[in-house]
Amino acid sequence: MKQGVFALFAVVALALSACTPVQRYHGYAPDDLQLAEIEVGQDTRETVVDKVGRPGVSGVMEGGAWYYVQSDWIEEGWRAPIEQRREVVAISFDSRDRVSNIERFGLEDGQVVALSRRVTETGPRGQSVLRQLLGSLGQFNPAQMLAN
């Protein structure tokens, strides 16, 4: 009897622990105190690295901005993760590689971007690859290959 009660208790405890929310933290964004150390027009990429570290993402254009991205997610059981908070710090540089602007964006500033999706069409419609292969077996004529 004791073993059955213990097993039932273990199953209930395991089921309840599976529903416990799990916090996940991704990335890094410098706080306001760290950003206050950066002087617009004075600091360069090298001094920004010394003060706040290297970014996780940089602009694709030459002389592009640096982006520090931090996201906080919560996972509850079987449900899809939900993003609780996002911060993006963008540090722009001018042509002399000096800081020209510092901006902070939050989750509320984000926009959904529709990506272009192009799908390559596959062969003839309505026929699977296996059907195409089996359909061509009866059309093979060895005499045609030997005639050439």
pTM score? 0.62
Average pLDDT estimate for 67-80:
89
Does the pLDDT of residue 102 top 60, yes or no? yes
Please give the pLDDT value at position 64. 79
The domain locations on the chain are 21-115
| Confidence band for 77, pLDDT divided at 50, 70 and 90 | confident
Does the pLDDT of residue 7 top 90, yes or no? no
Average pLDDT estimate for 66-85:
89
Buried b (16+ CB within 10 A) or exposed e, 7-21: eeeeeeeeeeeeeee
In whole angstroms, give the CA distance from residue 110 to residue 2.
Answer: 55
Segment (H or E) for 86: strand 82-93
In whole angstroms, give the CA distance from residue 85 to residue 108.
Answer: 9
Angle formed at CA 13 by CA 11 and CA 18, multiple of 5 degrees: 95
Neighbours of 52 (CB within 10 A): 21
Q: What is the mean pLDDT of the chain?
A: 80
